[in-house]
Structure 1
């Protein structure tokens, strides 16, 4: 999905990697049960992204980016396979949540399409990943909370993307802005969902590149939202905002953290952490006995690491503190085993974690698209179980 806009960043990764703390605690272990959930030979057969949002009724929504739809035969994506820009899955919650799973996307059986697409885009590929207009990649953030009418709704942040003029290959994409997709009946099955959408931001050529909604949590009646400042792709930074949950789709109701106070001006949003990647997860959790916000993400510049930061839970007043230093939780082995492979898009899933552990997923991909076609295992989510003791304490 959003690995990096420049392949040259991979070359610089070894010399620009930021030092992080290395606690010597219990070992991180793979989770083959969760990996088996997404190892499939028909229908949904591989994707990246893997963000989660809790739904009503003991269910968990999984959001994916670019997805293979079609048969896998003898380990490879076979004839008749399509790639669409986004899909979803629904599982249960709890450590046995993988016992029930269903997938959804758009289009038809003959021509699969994305689960959701920007309204009014140029129709050239009907969601098959080749359109000349806009498409959505999940920004990762979302929540369920009352709307302006007091009824529960699902809010999902989406990154609006397009091709680069004259670009080609796996890096041929650019961000256009952030949208929000709203589901008015999240208690029903996805096939019955009533969805609307609204553009939040549109990026200006040469302006600051702020992509909002990479993570969100509800605190009281407000959403605390994080975003990524991608102006410098070699050092992506974290920014923060807040908005009433009932009017989050109206960007004028947002306020932006300046480092000392909340401002009405987006341009005053301050960088509160650096060395980030385009995708993160944000959750409220207990860490070492204290209420905290937990940020999990992949190391920037196509590094192998999965990192975490924490902040003391700001509470209903949204009294924002500072983030801890980054702690390295795990080094993904795939880039060492195959130099064409990349590991990225790490996210936490406390909704389905075992007690005392944090389930973390990450995506893998190849710089050679046909390598992924020939080996379906190279484009499926990976899962590891991280002992909670490895998380840094909140400052």
Structure 2
């Protein structure tokens, strides 16, 4: 046991023995006020993804919220009106931490006719015509002029069938400090943090979640690193990378946990757990453990949590904290990509979101126009 902990040296404070990774005292309820905030009838009325990034932590007054595929249009008397559109990503900015309608504003681009258009479009050397971005997690880098770094997955349509798309690249979008949509001064960097599928395993990509283990971020046991989580294959195996914030653009200085040590070779990255989802989160708990939150089995019916001893594990078994009721409403509905939002959580709790979608999306949407939006639950810990 001590040998394992010594190998994990530098991840967090050392322990003589592993903490309890099987049991958690908690309760979960629906976060009704957050659900209400995203049940909308004009403009933005649906989207998935939803990562939350504190972009003005000093004054505690704004959070950048990232969405991938986004629906824009009008709903009247519960009916979706003609002329709605789907774009590939958008953002919102929330002032404060309360889910108040007056404090949130949604943003996207517009085309030459004034119709909604995707906010972030690929323009890196590796991008091909027709590629688009879905957004991963991001963070404000206090070591690099407070610029915001956002992971983006470069997606390409490969067929007209459902799920007829493939990830073909991984990108970092860099937003200058204090910039506002449409972020005209952004930079985009192709990264080597994507491994295409080979004969031995499915593809791997990083950016599914970020944990800032730094003093500036208020981490309880900071070691100065940014931990970036990746996902591999259909079994949703979780990979871990880390880098110093000041070196985030120097990809040769990234290191990947290989099960024994931090390795410079991304191909040696070893899964620390599985049954997760393409988006997830890691959050430190007050008792020194870490909560990895995800959708069980990628698109399973439950929001899951694993307790970790360090940001790179070991992790305990899946604790199913919430059975998503939406999947019981219609056989075509599915849920995915649960994650926590510490920035928007009150003391003693974790606000958690998950996405809802349909296997028959465009046929189902007119009957359920508010289906495609995040749902929120509140995980509360006893004092």
Q: TM-score, normalised by structure 1?
A: 0.80
Unpaired segments of 5 or more residues in structure 1?
A: 1-19, 124-132, 315-319, 391-395
Q: State the partner residue of 2:308.
A: 311
Compute the displacement of 1:343 (Å): 1.1
Q: State the partner residue of 2:252.
A: 252
SS at match of 1:267: helix
Equivalents in 2 of 1:371, 1:365: separation in Å?
A: 9
Which of 112, 118, 123 aligns to 2:116? It is: 112
Instruction: Map residues 41-120 of structure 1 onto 2, 5 A cutoff.
Output: 41-56=41-56, 57=59, 58-95=61-98, 100-108=103-111, 110-119=114-123
Q: Which moved more, 1:304-313 or 1:270-279?
A: 304-313
User: Does the alignment pair 1:151 with 2:155?
Assistant: no
Q: State the partner residue of 2:328.
A: 336
SS at match of 1:334: helix
Equivalents in 2 of 1:310, 1:280: separation in Å?
A: 13
Equivalents in 1 of 2:264, 2:96: separation in Å?
A: 37
SS at match of 1:273: coil
The question of whether the paired residues in 2 share the 8 Å contact of 1:237 and 1:274 is answered with: yes
Q: 1:247 to 1:299 in 2, by over 3 A?
A: same
Equivalents in 2 of 1:205, 1:305: separation in Å?
A: 28
The question of whether the paired residues in 1 share the 8 Å contact of 2:153 and 2:170 is answered with: yes
Alignment length (residue pairs): 344
The question of whether the paired residues in 1 share the 8 Å contact of 2:132 and 2:154 is answered with: yes
Instruction: Map residues 294-373 of structure 1 onto 2, 5 A cutoff.
Output: 294-300=291-297, 302-313=299-310, 320-369=312-361, 370-373=363-366
Equivalents in 2 of 1:333, 1:198: separation in Å?
A: 40
Which of 179, 190, 212 aligns to 2:206? It is: 212
Which of 149, 160, 172 aligns to 1:180? It is: 172
The question of whether the paired residues in 2 share the 8 Å contact of 1:68 and 1:81 is answered with: yes
The question of whether the paired residues in 2 share the 8 Å contact of 1:365 and 1:372 is answered with: no
Equivalents in 2 of 1:98, 1:356: separation in Å?
A: 24
Compute the displacement of 1:275 (Å): 1.0
Q: State the partner residue of 1:15.
A: none
Instruction: Map residues 220-235 of structure 1 onto 2, 5 A cutoff.
Output: 220=214, 221-230=224-233, 233=234, 235=235
Compute the displacement of 1:224 (Å): 1.1
Q: TM-score, normalised by structure 2?
A: 0.83
Equivalents in 2 of 1:264, 1:301: separation in Å?
A: 28
SS at match of 1:275: coil
Root-mean-square deviation (Å) = 2.4
Equivalents in 2 of 1:228, 1:177: separation in Å?
A: 14
Compute the displacement of 1:247 (Å): 2.9
SS at match of 2:155: strand
User: Does the alignment pair 1:198 with 2:189?
Assistant: yes
Measured against aligned partners, the alpha-carbon deviations of 1:47-80 in whole angstroms (never above 9, x if no partner) come to 1111111111421111111111111223233211
SS at match of 2:271: coil
Compute the displacement of 1:297 (Å): 0.6
Equivalents in 2 of 1:106, 1:91: separation in Å?
A: 18
The question of whether the paired residues in 2 share the 8 Å contact of 1:296 and 1:308 is answered with: yes
Unpaired segments of 5 or more residues in structure 2?
A: 1-20, 215-223
Q: State the partner residue of 1:128.
A: none
Compute the displacement of 1:38 (Å): 1.3
Measured against aligned partners, the alpha-carbon deviations of 1:133-168 in whole angstroms (never above 9, x if no partner) come to 2111112x2111135xx411100111111112xx22
SS at match of 1:115: coil
The question of whether the paired residues in 2 share the 8 Å contact of 1:34 and 1:98 is answered with: no
Q: 1:263 to 1:203 in 2, by over 3 A?
A: closer
Compute the displacement of 1:237 (Å): 0.3
Measured against aligned partners, the alpha-carbon deviations of 1:160-190 in whole angstroms (never above 9, x if no partner) come to 11112xx2233111111211001112x2433
Q: Which moved more, 1:339-348 or 1:87-96?
A: 87-96
Equivalents in 2 of 1:89, 1:61: separation in Å?
A: 6
Q: State the partner residue of 2:285.
A: 286
Equivalents in 2 of 1:267, 1:203: separation in Å?
A: 8
